[in-house]
Structure 1
């Protein structure tokens, strides 16, 4: 059947189901000046190729399309995963920063508390932290030893003084505690030699802080000595000492440190060398009598 339109004749054919292809879409969209009969012939020639597209024979075109699609999907997922990982790392760094700041603050507070606990009281005669190392026999006394102020207990009266008056003289530091009976008994022989040699020998009692002897305990002992048959009837001693004990660490009482007039440590011992009853080599008379 033929029909005329715009002075051009064209043939009409029975309606057929035509599956559009890329070529047909392009031809119809742009409406070229070709005749419709030419378009019909083109469709018929592409009909076989169109069928092959739907039965899966056009594999190279489909494979390329799916590869591109798969690349896009994988890229999107990788981007999403990377964003999640970056967010996780960022949150982790923030958490570490908060924990680190809190830890540093806790360490700083703890360190300041430790320094405060190590600082002696102002009334103990020790100002500031001790930096002197423990001394050994033969070592020279540090310069601040003679100028260091100590709390002095003199028969119930407290005062502050240093040891500069004993510089250039023989000095014996007698470390004691209120629970040490030999420390008090030995004072009888020590006083004998102090009277015998006068200023040539000086013995200073020292009650360190490790004894935990507070002022009440020392007052109680000082009052009790007046009624005891001992050569010592009152206490004259350095109390609440931490400086000297750090210079001469020890683990028992009595403990004696002999300082030579030249300022060097001559010896230290737990035996009282100022005792007339000891015989060379300082053997206890009780042991000699037992033999």
Structure 2
């Protein structure tokens, strides 16, 4: 098995929204903001090469939205999904599976692209299955008013229309042992219903793709919960359970949204679970 970080382009989000009720005087110590209160956010995805399968976990915003839409997010840097795949010798047509932690636009927008005539949409990965789960799919395709702006139908419905959509099973416990994909999945409902956190066994390590359960290092303290989360008290409990498990077992946490820290480990302290070590992806994957 080989793992590759896939950088799809950085952007910015409002620091207050990213930290909810936590005062700026606290969160700016780890996530400094610019004059507009915006903080740096990554869209760092993960590619798993396992035998004849290439599994891409999340895929960023994509490039089909309007200039006005992208203007809200201050896109920055030169990385893109296609250029990052090319860096490792891959093409979108090589991808066999696209695993989506959830269907918010910054996690699944790269799944779908304009067709050549720009009259409609088509999958960006022509030979891949798109993996979600039934409960989250229903949640996203019949969105509540709060999340409606994050679940864009042009990102989601073409997966089903193409016939390439597949669902993982739903777990009887918190963690699903998924034999179809070859890794375990931790389910979390605080951010959005049935978000999926992949837990990958790699060279004796457990690599956990943290998605929006732990966006950045700055979100390690339990009360530091995003304003975007639909059930913040549930996020607090889920994050506590997962971080305790990560500290107990020495998990390596792959941070999708931290623009400055790629992989971390955590440890128990008198203040709760806190940062232990910071690693680059090259240190862990090579």
TM-score category, normalised to shorter length: under 0.3
TM-score, structure 2 normalization: 0.21
**Structure with the higher fraction of residues in strand conformation:** 2
TM-score, structure 1 normalization: 0.20
**Structure with the higher fraction of residues in helix conformation:** 1
